Amino acid sequence: MVQASSLRVTEIFYSLQGEARTVGKPTVFVRLTGCPLRCRYCDSAYAFEGGSQIAVDEIRKTISGYECKTVTVTGGEPLAQPAVLLLMRHLCDDGYAVSIETSGALPIDAIDVRVSIVLDIKTPGSGEDKKNLYESLAKLKFKDQVKFVICDRKDYEWAKTKLIQFNLLEAVEDVFFSVSYEELSPTDLADWVLADRLQVRVQMQLHKLLWGDLPGH
């Protein structure tokens, strides 16, 4: 029987943060199993199924062994497992700087206020833009982050309209435009942002520049 205080985990690993505000920082990643979305460019489809059921306290013990105070909870879609809320609360109590990477398709209301939310707004190019839970945007804290993965010029123009529609540049400290890996030229995205004077942060996935598409990085 699955315990309420356990989570299905694909992997726990130590690496450099590849994106968002703490890019380049050594981080412990907890990758949970399962996701209700099927984004066309997904780079963690291996986390859709399988994994191991692990007690929250055992996950905390594993994390402590890395002697690192920065933790990112990711997936899959971590919010698909309710016990993730307990894990993050415990990690904050333990003194970790905790962030969660979420697809933006599930409610964020119950996330501990100490956790930094990195919320992905799915573009049309993802094939899952109909799953965006836009009401969550009004619940973000200023320290939270919003990310768009841009596949092409159409995605870029679409993302610009969302910046205005939801006043995102005022709502959160950082809005990231990230290229879909090996699909859009980072130079093209950078040129578009500069030409339009957009005050967003263009990012590439550092872990992929360093290690390619290998799991566990």
pLDDT tens, position by position, 73-91: 999 999 999 999 999 999 9
Question: pTM of the entire structure?
Answer: 0.92
Which tens digits make up the pLDDT trace of 102-131?
Answer: 999 999 999 999 999 999 999 999 999 999
| 34-48, 146-160, 171-185: which is most confident | 146-160
Token reading at 33:
């199993």
Task: Say if CB 173 and CB 180 are below 8 A apart.
Answer: no
Q: Give the pLDDT confidence of 1-45 residue by residue, as tens digits.
A: 455 699 999 999 999 998 889 999 999 999 999 999 999 999 899
**Mean of all residue pLDDT scores within the chain:** 94
Residue 204 — pLDDT band, cuts 50, 70, 90?
Answer: confident
**pLDDT category, 183, cuts 50, 70, 90?**
confident
What's the mean pLDDT in 163-178?
96
Sheet holding 116-120, edge to edge: 52-55, 6-16, 26-32, 70-74, 97-102, 116-120, 145-150, 174-179, 201-203
What number is the average pLDDT over the span 145-171?
A: 97
6-211 topology per CATH: TIM Barrel (3.20.20)
At 214 the pLDDT is 65
- Statement: residue 152 has pLDDT above 50: yes
Q: Residue written as tokens 């990758």?
A: 31
Environment class of 23 (CB within 10 Å of its CB; exposed 0-12, middle 13-18, buried 19+) = middle
Domain residue limits, the chain: 6-211
* Strand, helix or coil for residue 178: strand
CA distance to 20, 129, 159, 214, per residue, from 89 (Å): 21, 30, 32, 30
